Amino acid sequence: MRLKAIICQVFTREMEDIIARSNHTIDLEIIPMGLHSRGAEMHTYLQERVDAADDAGYDAILLGYALCGRGTEGLQAGKTPLVLPRAHDCIGVLMGGHQNFNAYFQEHPGTYFRTPGWTEFQTPDSELEPPFAATRPQLGERSTLKELIAEYGEEDGKFLFEQFNAFRKHYTGLTYISLPVASDEASRSRARAEAAKEGWKFEEVKGTLTILERLVNGEWSGGDVLLVPPGATIHAKMGDATLDAE
């Protein structure tokens, strides 16, 4: 098959690895991390990318996104079917689906999750230049301390930065999801360092590439991958089903 893959940057190393081993021809488009924080903009942005690929004669467009805070809800397939993982987010995808994730989540409250992608492309200090900055109308959670001080002054800027990052104090543990990618060891070290810095207990679980492999290899009939036929729209479904196409 000839496939287009539009993926979140968080899956970069995983997808590069799987695509390299695939028998299909896959054109890869990587979108910077952070769309999930953009609310309704995520849907609009992804629909534009899907529409841009729709006329290129692909057999399907693979999406390296899950429900992602409802960011994929409402995406419509044009002439080309869409295929995406049935999970709430990247953590669920890399833990092998929502049921696996939920079982762990219920037993481990207060957990901050990291994956190779999260540690490589996102940092806890928000020091990286945030993506989509040009379209961001106002300062908020993804702003750096420097930006907030520049806008609001030293005292108010520091207060705001503390407010936006205060939620991190509620976490008690960091769980690193280990995956069979080249960056795994380096990512694990960074995750361990982050846990130490925050005073969080470090744990590691073995993740799985199974759902992404099914996506790339055209194994779309199982329950953990959703095929969106031409003209159909993605709907969110609370509970294990997560996503559906109508």
Partner 1 sequence: MALDRNIYDAILNGNAKQAYAATQAALAAGAEPMTLIQDSMVPAMDAVGKLFECEEYFVPELLLAGRAMKTSMELLKPLLSAAGQKMAVRVIIGTVKGDLHDIGKNIVASMMEGSGFEVIDLGTDVTPEKFVNAVRENNPHVVCLSALLTVTMQAMKTTIDALETAGVRAQVKVLVGGAPVTSQYAREIGADGYSDNASGAVSLVKELLGQLAA
201 interacts with partner 1 by CB under 8 A = no
Burial (CB < 10 A; 0-12, 13-18, 19+), residue 198, is: middle
Region from 4-12, 27-35, 117-125, 140-148 binding partner 1, contact rule CB under 8 A: 140-148
With contacts defined by CB under 8 A, name the span among 8-16, 94-102, 115-123, 175-183 that binds partner 1.
94-102
Single-letter code of the amino acid located at 1: M
Residue 199 vs 239, nearer CB to partner 1: 239
133 binds partner 1 (CB under 8 A): no
Edge-first strand listing for the sheet containing 173-178 = 111-114, 173-178, 201-206
| Cα→Cα distances 103→25, 70, 146, Å | 36, 22, 39
Cα diameter, the chain: 57
- Which structure tokens are listed for 43? 């849907």
Binding status of residue 104 toward partner 1 by CB under 8 A: no
| Distance from C-alpha of 142 to C-alpha of 164, rounded to nearest angstrom | 8
Query: Looking at 13-21, 25-33, 136-144, 193-201, which segment touches partner 1 (CB under 8 A)?
Result: 136-144
Residue of 151, 201, 230, 241 interacting with partner 1 (CB under 8 A): 151
- In the complex, the smallest distance separating the C-beta of residue 125 from partner 1, rounded to whole angstroms, is 18
* Nearer CB in complex with partner 1: 139/232: 139
- How many residues sit in the footprint of partner 1 (CB under 8 A)? 34
- What is the x/- site pattern for partner 1, positions 225-244, by CB under 8 A? -----------x-xx-----
Using a 10 angstrom Cβ sphere, with 0-12 exposed, 13-18 middle and 19 or more buried, the burial of residue 152 is middle
Stretch that binds partner 1, among 25-33, 48-56, 105-113, 209-217 (CB under 8 A): 105-113
Q: How far is the CB of 69 from partner 1 (least distance, A)?
A: 5
Judged by CB under 8 A, which of 22, 100, 102, 210 binds partner 1?
102
Q: Which two tokens stand for residue 42?
A: 């995520």
| E strand residue ranges, 132-218 | 173-178, 201-206
Q: What is the spatial distance between Cα 156 and Cα 134, in angstroms, rounded to a whole number? A: 24
What is the rounded CA–CA span in Å between residue 88 and residue 105?
Answer: 12
Work out how close the CB of 48 gets to partner 1 at its nearest, in angstroms, rounded to a whole number: 21
- Where do contacts with partner 1 occur on this chain (CB under 8 A)? 39, 67, 69-70, 88-89, 92, 98, 101-102, 105-106, 109-110, 137-141, 148, 151-152, 156, 159-160, 163-164, 166-167, 170-171, 236, 238-239
